[in-house]
Structure 1
């Protein structure tokens, strides 16, 4: 007869004198690992959502359809296993009279969806008065369409599961609000021609992406320039980078590769980035010629 330990799980079996976790014990360990990985803000948000739901007299099954979720999905949000999306928060605020409490937390919920290596930079980005970006191989994240960004995340190695793809996509699109926030941030994007010719998601996705670039370039605080292939040496050949000036007039650089990001705060290094970016803008097509270039790629000329 098999005995059980204090929590009711079957004891570890013995193999060659070593303990071997039972399947039940292994499942419990994996569950605890998943729970330990939950961002604290997701857990806190979920507890508040559950509190407001109960106070309003709803069951999960009763509230879920009002929020556009299944009962299982709502349970996952309340348990902090998946993050709330902005539409859920907006619907919950209306249905539960949450007085803006959940809405206040949404930005932090979105922030926790970001890769850990990227969060320090995003904190600086949120305080930016100017942001200058050079991308040689991909359309900059702040200018990506949903379909283009989805193609990137679906091709990620190692492969992401569906929830991770949706969370990453939601976080990227949420960051794009900075383009039109008040007060306006001064944006400059210099993009390598290779980034525009690298087809992601198919021809329709790329055509939509070209049109989106043209639309964003018409915003009065956004400049989009293209560096054509064949220009010879230019100061962006060492790779992409970003320059940010915060509201406190502190300046930082940032660069990343292979899912590793690095914030540069040393004033001498930041000054070098600034010099290179200034040269790069002068070597790129101007804003008007860049728009014509993108229109030609979109087949609209």
Structure 2
């Protein structure tokens, strides 16, 4: 895992890679398209015929087959049935979905999907795993330089897909500490924020999830250095993760991960407890 950090922590190397890749589409989408093309030929169908059977337009089928757009889960389900694919397209769906994520986050997304525990401190925004669709869309819409509508759609869909971790079986132990300022800072319209606060209360009611709020004006605390995540993999290996300005870094050095865990423990003790945090969010709802 150290190699992952070396890649993502080197700003000049990351920038060079991004420039070299340019507008190239994810290889996962192309691989899916090649497999779809093979299945079409095996079934003796063309793109138009498959679209008619599935209820999709010729353009939609063509764009997926050519790797220009990612297949959504509903498309894959319909294609599996129409082509009697035997599950081979469904086996690729997770990779196709993951490729919708921003490039810098994809390595950690692979780790995140299988963790047994995940502890998250976020001072600036509601954590991605807890965001509503409208809140996530507002975050991506504010990106600089601006993202195209299709990219916003893909990133939003991928972020919502990650939220399967909240209810995945076996359940993962999940903890979130969010600065009060992040909850009060308007992202999108007042309606978006109200729905987001309500979503936080709903998620906090899950038995494997804890949501705590770090109250405003708490003074200096270990979270002032920025957001970070600590996870435990299914192999019981502990890793850290942090990101800033479109650069993500996975930390595997035991001493550094231990520091992250120590800081998170202190933050947990300094934040409002779970019940106090829920009451604060309820008061915020009542104030609007």
The equivalent residue for 1:163 is 150
**Does residue 190 of structure 2 align to residue 203 of structure 1?**
yes
218-227 vs 36-45, which moves further: 36-45
Structure 1 position 111, deviation (Å): 1.5
- CA separation of 1:66 and 1:173: change in aligned 2, threshold 3 A: farther
What TM-score, normalized by structure 1, do the two folds share?
0.84
RMSD after superposition: 1.9
Structure 1 position 148, deviation (Å): 0.6
Query: How many corresponding residue pairs?
Result: 269
Q: Give the SS at the match of 1:236.
A: helix
The equivalent residue for 1:127 is 114
Structure 1 position 73, deviation (Å): 2.1
The equivalent residue for 1:13 is none
267-276 vs 35-44, which moves further: 35-44
Q: Runs of 4+ in structure 1 displaced over 6 angstroms?
A: 33-36
The equivalent residue for 1:4 is none
Q: Unaligned stretches of 5+ in structure 2? A: 1-19
Q: 1:256 aligns with which of 236, 243, 246?
A: 243
What pairs with 1:136-151 in structure 2 (closer than 5 Å)? 136-151=123-138
* Partners of 2:254 and 2:55 in 1: CA distance: 49
Q: Give the SS at the match of 1:147.
A: helix
**Does residue 66 of structure 2 align to residue 79 of structure 1?**
yes
Q: Unaligned stretches of 5+ in structure 1? A: 1-32
Q: Give the SS at the match of 1:225.
A: strand
* Partners of 1:36 and 1:203 in 2: CA distance: 36
Structure 1 position 101, deviation (Å): 1.0
- CA separation of 1:119 and 1:67: change in aligned 2, threshold 3 A: same
Structure 1 position 102, deviation (Å): 0.7
8 Å contact from structure 1 (residues 178, 185) kept in 2? yes
The equivalent residue for 1:43 is 30
Q: Give the SS at the match of 2:224.
A: coil
**Does residue 78 of structure 2 align to residue 53 of structure 1?**
no
The equivalent residue for 2:10 is none
The equivalent residue for 2:96 is 109
* Partners of 1:240 and 1:209 in 2: CA distance: 20
Q: Give the SS at the match of 2:240.
A: strand
Greater Rg by CA: 1
